[in-house]
Structure 1
């Protein structure tokens, strides 16, 4: 049997990522939330800016002490320090209370006013600089302008209004002094100053747009995650309701079905006397057969709902899987040969012990081998094999039957799912067997759920015309666990 063609892994992984990215981009975001997040970022940066502000203030005051009027210098330093502390208090107030989205504009304006006043105070320090012709004064001026520019880029770019309010009054006085350093305006220095201001604005605008896009993406992802959680909870509630309903209905249907099967069996076997017309006995046999089939469906639905809800508790024990696999092969070999199929069993005797529920594994094997025999035409092959693996024991059931498309192979593992188009349940099934196998797609889902509840894994690989391969990985016994000789 040839397996289904492999699909490129990159494409399979890229499509979900691309879909998630598109979903995030399309998720609506309230612009007020973006503004609120941007202004919150401004106020969160106030702490480091305050430290830098006081550091620059102390250094500048010490550098100018004795070179400028001490009274005016002290007054200027005191006002700037007081205003800095006032702005810090405003930031603490902002961060300590919940805020409505409509308040963002007011808080942004308050921050812009604070930064503008701070810029004016820093710009006024040019009055203490004295003669800028000396090398030390030029060096101090260059350092101060660079420091103020860096502070504006680092702390104010979340709001272009606050950035402009700080940077222009802080740097314009120093820029004017440099341009008129020798008394007459210097076009070269003016060009450098203009380029510096343009560069600062371009950088601030670029960072502002980047911050805004980043905030918008974060909000979209948050909204998408919240919507996904709501949909997940809604789906979980619907699944739980479905499981409760099916469980209840399954119990309710068992009683009348048992009565139908019992009475039809009495009639078919004519236990209470002969039936006048032989056709009636034949009809009774059909009723009994259909009733047993329907009862199997009801039991399947009940089993599925219990497995999904975790209501079925398995008796997991450490045991040798070889006897269970060989017993399943012995049971299905005659059925396969009767259908004109070859049956191959490759089960070594030295398989490692696994931790399984014997009844559950027998049920899984019966489901998979039954499907393999049922959906393989005469002349085909069914194989059961097992081998030790790093994950425990891998059991494989393969056939050369009708096969399925990848979409059908995925859907058939989902309880109560429907497959559109050509019916998987009748494709390749013998005509004399077709009418009795029109149940919902429960068996493969039951096998998967039972395998996973034992702690194993279930993989189904199929392609139309190339048959189906199912690989079960049974979990190994826990290290140090004694292996019972009798499997109990």
Structure 2
């Protein structure tokens, strides 16, 4: 026998080995997937932290911050030059046309061509920069091209102030030169403010030659204008520096916005992933409950049936009273487990939106009376007095009778459960102020602390009194009540004070009332007959 049992057990082990290997391989695969997901999340967190550190370092280091946006400011410089491609030639044409009053038209024509050529040279360089690949834009050669181009452009404007003038030009030419100086320096400041070196290259030659030209004259007016030209140059340099700061600030905000957008996209992707996992977990939960409901109820029916036969001694008396007590305990535990399964399934169906209401005209008074009859045995066991008060002539309501019965039973069961021995439970039924109907259940138990009410209303939530007294329950009753009343478009209210008891009220809206005789069940709300009868009764 020993050898035979040993062989049997060895055969059993051998048969179970392949499935064990399969489970191990599946577990290892799941573990590798989890490890890969965790690595991806760690990489995303590190990238996000690196981005935050970069932003903080830029905000804390103003000098390095400017160099960080060098390439962005080059792009702004090129874009400004391209947008002003036709504005600068128009200004040069106006200046050349007015200067023809004092300067030979041949000289002004030659100067105009030189200025236009240098201007369009800068436009071509800017276009080339915009079309260049990103890896070539970072090269320092573009900065040199911009500086040299602006220097040539500034020198071309400086030639204007060195043109030979006709005799007897007078002070009008001097004033025009100074006005042209201010306009040209202001224009170049606006165009080249994003690159300080280009700003100096395009404005200093003009100021230098104008000042030199004014100082060649020995009059107080020329000396004054020379000093003002130098002051104007300083003013526009300060203005250019302020424009540069504004550009840096704008680029900082843009960079921060881009980083925040990247972080939001990362958080959004993580949220989508978490939602997908939650949906998959919810689907798995639904499948599990659908499968386990059958798998658990089948053996429970046998347990409840056989234990009931044993405790009631249907097949004969049991000599041992302890066995009979065990059978009663088994039957009670089985009923508790079956109620727990039913409540979990009801709540899961409601949360999944799969709970359908089978509505019909019913009298809420009959539902409350039936529930009171069912609760009398439990109340009598604790010497609790049930008081039932209702207003007569209440109309029928269009509702699911089973759902409302479950609501009232849960409320009365909780009241009886937490009411001390010899206490009272009052059930009231009547119309609401807006024309609906309400059911309230009030007990004189220990009450619920105000801070624990949200916990009690959650699924599987229990108050401190329930935990201390170890009252049997799952904490799903009030959650199911709220869900069922919400499906009927009703409201749920709970009031409680320590030492005075708890009152729970559920209300059905006026739209659930059926304004026709209580003994007529043939008319459903929403039908033509129902609307006609409602109008006639009104």
TM-score, reference length from structure 1: 0.67
SS at match of 2:474: coil
Q: Are 1:280 and 2:323 an aligned pair?
A: yes
Distance 1:59 1:190, change over 3 A: closer
Show the counterpart of 1:425. Answer: 466
Show the counterpart of 1:30. Answer: 51
What's the CA shift string for 1:407-444, capped at 9, x where partnerless? 643344444x466xx745345x6xxxx5xx43432222
SS at match of 1:28: helix
Q: Are 1:56 and 2:76 an aligned pair?
A: no
Show the counterpart of 2:484. Answer: 450
What's the CA shift string for 1:203-222, capped at 9, x where partnerless? 33433433333333333333
Aligned residues: 432
Task: Give me the CA root mean square deviation.
Answer: 5.0
Given that 1:321 and 1:351 are in contact with CA atoms closer than 8 Å, whether structure 2 keeps it comes out as: yes
Question: What aligned pairs does 1:349-364 form with structure 2 within 5 A after superposition?
Answer: 356-364=399-407
CA distance in 2, matches of 1:320, 1:115: 87
Q: CA deviation at 1:297?
A: 1.0
Given that 2:397 and 2:514 are in contact with CA atoms closer than 8 Å, whether structure 1 keeps it comes out as: no
Q: 1:253 pairs with 273, 276, 296, which one?
A: 296
Given that 1:116 and 1:169 are in contact with CA atoms closer than 8 Å, whether structure 2 keeps it comes out as: yes
Q: CA deviation at 1:311?
A: 3.2
Q: 1:71 pairs with 113, 117, 125, which one?
A: 113
Given that 1:404 and 1:464 are in contact with CA atoms closer than 8 Å, whether structure 2 keeps it comes out as: yes
Q: Which has the higher contact order (CA 8 A, sep 6+)?
A: 1
What's the CA shift string for 1:150-184, capped at 9, x where partnerless? 5677xxxxxxxx64465454455556567768446
Show the counterpart of 2:253. Answer: 210
Q: Are 1:367 and 2:410 an aligned pair?
A: yes
CA distance in 1, matches of 2:207, 2:434: 73
Show the counterpart of 2:157. Answer: 126
SS at match of 2:254: helix
CA distance in 2, matches of 1:358, 1:110: 84
Show the counterpart of 2:270. Answer: 227
Q: CA deviation at 1:381?
A: 5.3
| Long gaps (5+) in structure 1 | 1-23, 95-102, 154-161
Q: Are 1:409 and 2:409 an aligned pair?
A: no
Q: 2:124 pairs with 76, 79, 82, which one?
A: 82
TM-score, reference length from structure 2: 0.62
CA distance in 2, matches of 1:121, 1:391: 89
CA distance in 2, matches of 1:135, 1:347: 102
CA distance in 1, matches of 2:50, 2:369: 61
CA distance in 2, matches of 1:49, 1:394: 73
